[in-house]
Amino acid sequence: MVTKVIYLFLLSTVILFSIVGCTIETSATQEMAQTLMKEDKNSDLFLIESILYKKVKTVNETEFKSVNTTPYGQISMNYKKNKKFQSGMASVLPPGTKLYRSIEHPEYVYSSEESGYTMYQSVPEG
């Protein structure tokens, strides 16, 4: 009986810490996005797979094609002032914009738009 109680307590504790740990990590990334938007309302950012990316530069088709990339998803919604950043949300890129991740340098992601390509870099936490 005591063994079952201890087992149940340990299991509950592990589940609770797992939930809290994931929530804190996501909140930190969302808060970082909020801070960057407050500092510069024209920031070109997006959040995907709990990683925040910020615009580095515009690239031409030749430069984009010289990078070995893999599809990485697409933008699903636009950021609204005073709302929390969510996965798939962008401050500038329109919904439907396709994203490609560099295979050699996974910290770089490229967006493909009608006007060309843009390179983004992941924003380190902390």
Closest CA to 44 of 84, 101, 103, 94: 94
What is the SS3 assignment for 124? coil
Ranges of beta strands (E only) in the chain are 45-48, 51-59, 69-74, 77-78, 89-90, 98-102, 108-113, 116-122
Distances from the Cα of 68 to the Cαs of 37, 47, 77, in angstroms?
Answer: 30, 22, 27
66-90 pLDDT, tens digit per residue, is 999 999 999 999 988 777 888 899 9
Q: What integer pLDDT is reported at residue 12 of this predicted model?
A: 57
* Structure letter (DSSP) for residue 125: P
pLDDT for the residue 13:
56
For the chain, give every domain's residue range: 2-122
pTM over 0.85: no
Q: What is the pLDDT of residue 4?
A: 60
pLDDT of amino acid 123: 92
pLDDT given for residue 6 in this prediction: 55
Secondary structure letter of residue 56 according to DSSP: E
Question: What fold characterizes domain 2-122?
Answer: 2.170.150
Separation between Cα atoms, residue 101 and residue 72, nearest integer Å: 6
What are the pLDDT tens digits along the chain (126 aa)? 656 645 555 555 555 454 444 444 457 888 888 888 888 888 999 999 889 999 999 999 999 999 999 999 999 999 887 778 888 999 999 999 999 999 999 999 999 988 889 999 999 875
Phi/psi of residue 118, each to 5°?
Answer: -130, 135
Token output for 106: 């996974």
pLDDT at site 99: 97
